[in-house]
Chains A and B, each alone.
Chain A
Amino acid sequence: MSSDESFLQDVVAALHRVGLEAIVVGTVAGVLNGAPVMTQDLDLLVRDTPKNREKIGKLSAALQIAPPVQVSELSKAITLLGGALPIDILFDALPGGLTFEALRSRSSRVQIGDSAATVAALADVIASKQAAGRPKDLAQLPILRQTERVRAALKGGKSV
């Protein structure tokens, strides 16, 4: 297991320990769906409730990293710093009107070590990046779309 996979395993295990329901989204979700892409952080989507805010505090303690900080006044997203890599926590929905519930309904469970992560579907990763429209998101779209097509071809013998 690489250090990247170990980091992911530690975070997923900590999510389970504190009872925080989170969906892995963004580029790491692309990776867990098989795409050959790289990123600098881990994005998690959770529902914005007082209880979950409390659990996020417990998550940072469980990971022995700094308490959550809000990095921009333009967004209510928060970041956990001080670990091997930053963890961005997004609330309720992703760009493109992708709600937590909708993403969860299409998500898959991916085993990472002893714990399973809830991972957004590749189609949702693509839709969110397209809607976000930032250069770094748009740059990944071609390889993500190709991965989706190749995966479909592998499964069903026909490309999408």
Chain B
Amino acid sequence: MSIWEYANPKKFMDTTAPAVPWLFWGSVALLVVGLVWGFFLTPNAENFQSTVKIIYLHVPAALMAINAWFMMLVTSIIWLVRRHHVSALAAKAAAPIGLVMTVIALVTGAIWGQPMWGTWWAWDPRLTSFLILFLFYLGYLALWEAISDPDTAADLTSVLCIVGSVFAVLSRYAVNFWNQGLHQGASLSLDKEENVSDVYYIPLLVCMAAFVLLFVALVLMRTGTEIRLRRIRALEARAERGAAGA
């Protein structure tokens, strides 16, 4: 058995369709638990006061904004190398979700920044790279809509995705590259460094898990939709050829 079997649209849909409701309702349950826990059951922080509660939406959204682009990068490279349509359609399906996550991260960041920094916006390395990532998402979606041939659109958007990955990396590591700006360092890290108190850490992890599951559920659902749309176009084109030949 090989992972490439799932590049077959029917196999992909048969395998993923039953999982989507479980993933979706699992994400909803986790989000309710995480947000209720974080909003109602955690104390205000000394430094951030009640605005610390924004972390349960801001950090998971920022995480998914960046990782959605990385997922699109992987599937775009698979398209360019192996020409599997499902991978190109999965990248296309993920882009609107990544865009929404980026908007949530930018908006909640601005709302959080105003009382803490005294400004809605600053040309800080992380904020600026996130804004550029947002523009890349818009450009990526516009490019898919602008080109009528789906294979050409997949080729060009894949190249755009590779270029945009620079800014996805910058969004994640900008605070490490440039030791300046208003934005703090990473809230979570894989090393032993403790950046968030345990009181906030566990509900934050629950919310992050919820956002990951929601992203996966929506990508699978939207990829299924794109596969069906492709099938409709193929059947209509076949019918037109048949009518022209008759």
Asked if A pairs with B, the answer is no
Chain B positions near chain A (C-beta within 8 angstroms): none
